[in-house]
Copies of this chain bind each other. A is one copy, B any other.
Amino acid sequence: MRARDGRLDVLLDGGRLPAAALSPGDSLESALARAVDLAVLAHVEQLETRVLEDGSVATAYLGLVSSEADVPGDWRPAAESALPFVGAAQSRLRAKLSYTNLGFALAPATFTISELREVYVAALGHDVSATNLQRVLVRRGVLERVDGRRAPGRTGGRPAALFRFASDRLEVTDEFAALRPPR
């Protein structure tokens, strides 16, 4: 999946989710590598295993692509997809965006807060305040300033500061307030 142009997209292959059969002696990861180009995926995690209508067993993975990676293919709006697993992938993604640093997998390497906001809006499907997004993610140490600023467009405006994610591996950033271990 990717979050771009205000929308969450799924990459299809012939109208279906990319898939590969698991050969004997094979690992799930190697089968996955046959189905998709792992190099473009900024994050991969296992989603769910289900017996499909035809009796076969499928293990689904959620793979995330940066909004700046120009991956060609049949990208379709996730919201309009009735394919199995897509709904589960969307829910998983939305939840993890809230309590982990998972945004790193959807955002460009460096970005302005406005750009990051667009990614979050696309993935979450609801409005997000740039002000509070910045405050929350910086407070949690998820975002770091990088040098330089993005020049404004033709319509003017103050140049925007650039940020990056402090880590590009999944980390839980919201240690749930309740029931936290004592210090």
Contacts and interface: CB of A to CB of B under 8 A. Distances in A.
Interface of A: 22, 24-28, 46, 48-51, 55, 57, 59, 95, 97-99, 120, 124, 126-128, 132-133, 136, 172, 174, 176-182
Contacts of A126: 181-182
Nearest to A100: B176
B55 A49 contact: no
A24 B55 contact: yes
B28 A176 contact: no
B176 A127 contact: no
A136 B49 contact: no
28 contacts: A24-B55, A25-B55, A26-B51, A27-B51, A28-B49, A28-B51, A46-B48, A49-B49, A57-B57, A59-B59, A95-B172, A95-B176, A97-B179, A98-B180, A99-B176, A99-B178, A120-B179, A124-B179, A124-B181, A126-B181, A126-B182, A127-B181, A127-B182, A128-B179, A132-B178, A136-B179, A174-B177, A177-B177
Per assembly, the copies of the chain total 2
Contacts of A127: 181-182
Contacts of A177: 174, 177
A22 B24 CA distance: 16
A83 B28 CA distance: 20
Contacts of A95: 172, 176
Residue of A124, A176, A180 with most partner-chain B CB within 10 A? A176
Given A27-B51, A136-B179, 18 more contacts: A25-B55, A28-B50, A28-B51, A46-B48, A49-B49, A49-B59, A95-B176, A97-B179, A98-B176, A98-B179, A126-B182, A128-B179, A133-B179, A136-B178, A174-B176, A174-B177, A174-B178, A177-B177
